Chain A
Amino acid sequence: MSKYHNFMRRPLTRREMLSVCKGGFGSLAFMSLFGLTTFSCNRSSGIALDSNSDLYRGPHHLPKAKNVIFLYMDGGVSQVDSFDPKPRLAKENGQDPRKKFKVDATQFDNVGKILKSPWEFKQYGECGMPVSDLFPHIATCVDDIALIRSMTSQFPEHTNANYFLHTGSGLQGRPSMGSWMTYGLGSENQNIPGYVVLDGGLIPPGGLDNFKNGFLPASYQASVLRAGPQPVANIIPKEKIPNLQEQKLDFIKQLDNNQLDSVGEADAIESAISNYELAYKMQSSIPELTEFKEETEATKKLYGFDSDDPHTRGYAAQCLLARRLVERGVRFIELTCPKVSADRWDQHGNLKDGHEKNAHAVDQPIAGLIKDLKSRGLFEETLVVWTGEFGRTPFAQGLNGRDHNPSAFSMWMAGAGIKGGTIFGKTDEYGYRVIENEVNIHDMHATIMHLMGIDHERLTFRFGGRDMRLTDVHGHVIKDILV
């Protein structure tokens, strides 16, 4: 029961007493004003276009990117099998890694022999970036890609690493980067949330907390859309009479507002009101969004809708949806992986089979997405980010798998403001550790924010008595990969 007491009228707290008294009615007025802008998802109507007040929501500097598509490669892609070729692994295949270099503790403590990559690498594009045979389609886009081979994470285990990647902290409960972005910039579209996760079938370890708003107002959390005929649960109204639902919602809002009047500022209620409103609008915007009727056959083919592999078709739909969301002004779109039989990218065994299946599912759709964005002119204002939460070991786990490796992995970015065809950072001869230009997760966040026009040191939210940031006290923008 105690939970429900939260929203009952309660006596003024000491803090409220002080804050009301010190500014008198002025501060009351300010509070309601503040509540209005920060807690509404819609940006144009609430934003202070003509003043430089605290209410400012928008970029700090002229942005390059207006939207981000975050292609999350759940489980950790092996860098030495994808974008970071290491000939030495072939030479020393089958030898004991402990005789060659210091081996850190691995999650499963089942360190096998040095394992060469089962795939060949070839050079592509004008820049000559080497890509393995896992990604023949993405390979055709290398001149648009800035590859970072020197990523590191702090956690060798999925859940923490996922939280770290998404929220900048290894612990549960901090706001996700998408929430920060929408909090900082607002959403352009009043009918679709500003932060959308397109669920391919696998929610990453750590669950929905990867996409949560944390201490930010609840309207900045991600909305998860499923790929399939009903992308959002209960999106089709139950009421037979159209008017009825509207009346019901109006009534609920009225009740909520009454409650809000009596308890004062309460994010849970304010966000609930705005979420109801958004949900109502989504009933019409979402079906329109997810019907691909206007898309030509050629476009669909580009993404791989005609593939024999159902997972490729599924991811193709996610990618196409992502582009359509970009067109509709959604700020941050994350795609999770399709449920390929061999368990996402986390190949502790059977590397060849597992990575091949996963790559096959995402390769063509991603390349299709890049090409489609380009030809529509959306690529100049959309940032595409491709990464896992960590990399994999250059030696085997057991006979033919690879264990987790947070000491080095590869990621890439493409699109708005990115210097295509660049390779940044370096790993040792085994691809085991970073030896040059280490880039950590905070740097990645800082760079994404920078491209969105946000100074990561200035976008803050006061919580627990501190001005919190996505990058905490860390983070450097990686200038070398920017135009």
Chain B
Amino acid sequence: MLSMLLNITAEGPSDVLLFFGRIHPLVVHLPIGFLLLAALAELASKKPKFQPLKNYTHYVWALGGISAFFAVLFGYFLSLSGDYNEDTLFWHKWMGIVLMIVAGICYFVSKKQLKLPFYGKPILISFMVFTIFYTGHLGGNLTHGSTYLLEYAPNMIRRMAGMPNKAIPRKKVTVLDSAEVYLDLIDPVMQARCVSCHNNDKKKGGLDLTTYAKLMAGGESGDAVLPGDINGSDLYRRITLPETHDDFMPTEGKPPLSEEEVAMIGWWIGVQAPSDGFFVELGPDEEVKSMVEKYLGLDKNQLLSKQMGPASKVVVDSLIKQGFNLNRLMIDNYFLEANFSLSEQPLTNQALATLVELKEHIIWLNLSNSEIKDGQLEQIAQLENLIKLNLSTNTITDQGLSHLGQLQNLESINLYKTEVSQGLVENIAKWPKLKRLYISESKVDSLTVEQLRQKFKNLTIQFD
């Protein structure tokens, strides 16, 4: 029976073996428990109160020995899959076998109540306990990698264990220009999604993805990445396969890389997979840029991560009196929305001047149907933090809009039923973050809209 099970063909161990092998992590905890319990019982039985235990400890040693046997057996099966660091494996295996034998000896000594010379028994049991811990530690290193245990340990302890200080994490990229191509774009993906299986201790497929050099060194089946050749790169092939495919990475049902991550890696290989240099200097086109911005979370407005203090109560009250509705937009920040569209009073220059006093606070402004004039937009231009601006149903024109060039945070502008027309093409170019534009019922013609669509690919234009 066993010989049949152990029948290892050239293709690798049979499924049955691997099946039992994978039970190893489960079984392995039994001898740990039993043997430690037995050692404890031996210690306790020195006290007169626990003296009677003496007659039973050999049963516990027996349980420990038997479970150790199975742990060793299954462990051996698991080792046949060959995905482990050979050095560590060698020691783990032999320590396991030693442990099993020592457990047997302990059983024998305990059963026969043998008297060993010169503290023989305490030495034997101490050796047993040491073996348990050391073998267990090696096993942990095998599954989690040797850096796992001390990954978050204080640097002092790490140095004692001969490890380098903890790496200082790279600063979060806040502007695209400062993003390093490998360190900020590719490496984080590898670290987060791949190195758990592809590191120095656990080199699945012989591949280590912890550093650029090791990544380029490739794995069992050769180079993982061929610079400039997306289709020839095994790594790219594996992350783009259908999820159900055997070769798909990451394996074991881990969630696939996001669309942006895949596209980014593809682009990186395409530009010769450089090890360093700034992303923007590699000449990415708009599409790649916006994809990377999305990946780095730079597409969200940075403005909102700023902490804004409360607005002056006097100014707020005065604005409310002059017809504005003011709303807070978040509980932990004091950014405001100002709305004049419901006002029953006319919009005065005085009111606009008061509004400007809150220029840092106001991020949304609704001036729909407020009879605002081109000239008055000069005041609005000072509200530099505006993200959303609604100017619909007003008689404003391109000329008025030309004042608003400073609104660098603007993401959405509503020009429904206004008199803006061709001049829009020039005006829009001034708003780098603009995403949504509403120009139905305005004086814009479809030719201009076509032009806008050509020129601003990331802009959603509502025109009908």
Q: Which residues of A contact B (CB under 8 A)?
A: 43-45, 47, 49-52, 56, 58-63, 188-189, 327-329, 371, 374-377, 380, 453
Contacts and interface: CB of A to CB of B under 8 A. Distances in A.
A51 B416 CA distance: 36
B313 interface: yes
A62 B304 CA distance: 9
A368 to B, nearest CB: 13
Contacts of A188: 325, 327, 339, 342
B409 interface: no
Contacts of B311: 49-50
A50 B313 contact: yes
A375 B464 contact: yes
A432 B464 CA distance: 41
A281 B77 CA distance: 83
A189 B329 contact: no
A60 B313 CA distance: 21
A59 B363 CA distance: 15
Contacts of A380: 412, 436
A327 B342 CA distance: 8
Contacts of B392: 376-377
B15 to A, nearest CB: 30
B418 to A, nearest CB: 11
A188 B320 CA distance: 12
A58 B329 contact: yes
B462 A377 contact: yes
A43 B327 contact: yes
A453 B310 CA distance: 19
A165 B24 CA distance: 51
Interface of B: 304, 310-313, 316, 320, 324-332, 334-336, 339, 341-342, 368, 390, 392, 412, 414, 416, 436, 438, 440-441, 462, 464
Contacts, number: 84
A49 B330 contact: no
A165 B306 CA distance: 38
A43 B320 CA distance: 11
A61 B329 CA distance: 7
8 contacts: A63-B329, A188-B339, A374-B462, A376-B440, A377-B414, A377-B438, A377-B462, A380-B412
A329 B328 contact: no
Given A188-B342, A329-B342, A376 B329 contact: no
A58 B368 CA distance: 22
A189 B342 contact: yes
Contacts of A50: 310-313, 316, 334
B342 A58 contact: no
A112 B273 CA distance: 65
A328 B436 CA distance: 22
A44 B330 contact: no
A374 B436 CA distance: 11
A236 B392 CA distance: 32
Contacts of B310: 49-51
A51 B414 CA distance: 31
A43 B313 CA distance: 15
Given A50-B313, A328-B342, A380-B412, A44 B327 contact: yes
Contacts of A375: 416, 438, 440-441, 462, 464
Enumerate the 7 nearest inter-chain pairs by beta-carbon distance, A residue then B residue, closest first. Answer: A377-B438, A377-B414, A375-B440, A50-B310, A58-B328, A60-B331, A44-B325
A294 to B, nearest CB: 10
B409 to A, nearest CB: 13
Contacts of B313: 49-50
Given A45-B320, A377-B390, A380-B412, A59 B440 contact: no
B434 to A, nearest CB: 13
Contacts of A377: 390, 392, 412, 414, 416, 436, 438, 462
A106 to B, nearest CB: 39
A480 to B, nearest CB: 13
Contacts of B329: 58-59, 62-63, 453
A375 to B, nearest CB: 4
Which of B304, B330, B334, B390 has the most A CB atoms < 10 Å from its CB?
A: B330
Contacts of B438: 375-377
Contact of B328 (A45, A47, A189, A374): A47
Contacts of A44: 320, 324-327
Nearest to B463: A375
A58 B331 CA distance: 7
Given A61-B330, A377-B416, A377-B462, A49 B342 contact: no
Contacts of B312: 50
Given A375-B438, A376-B416, A377-B392, A49 B326 contact: yes
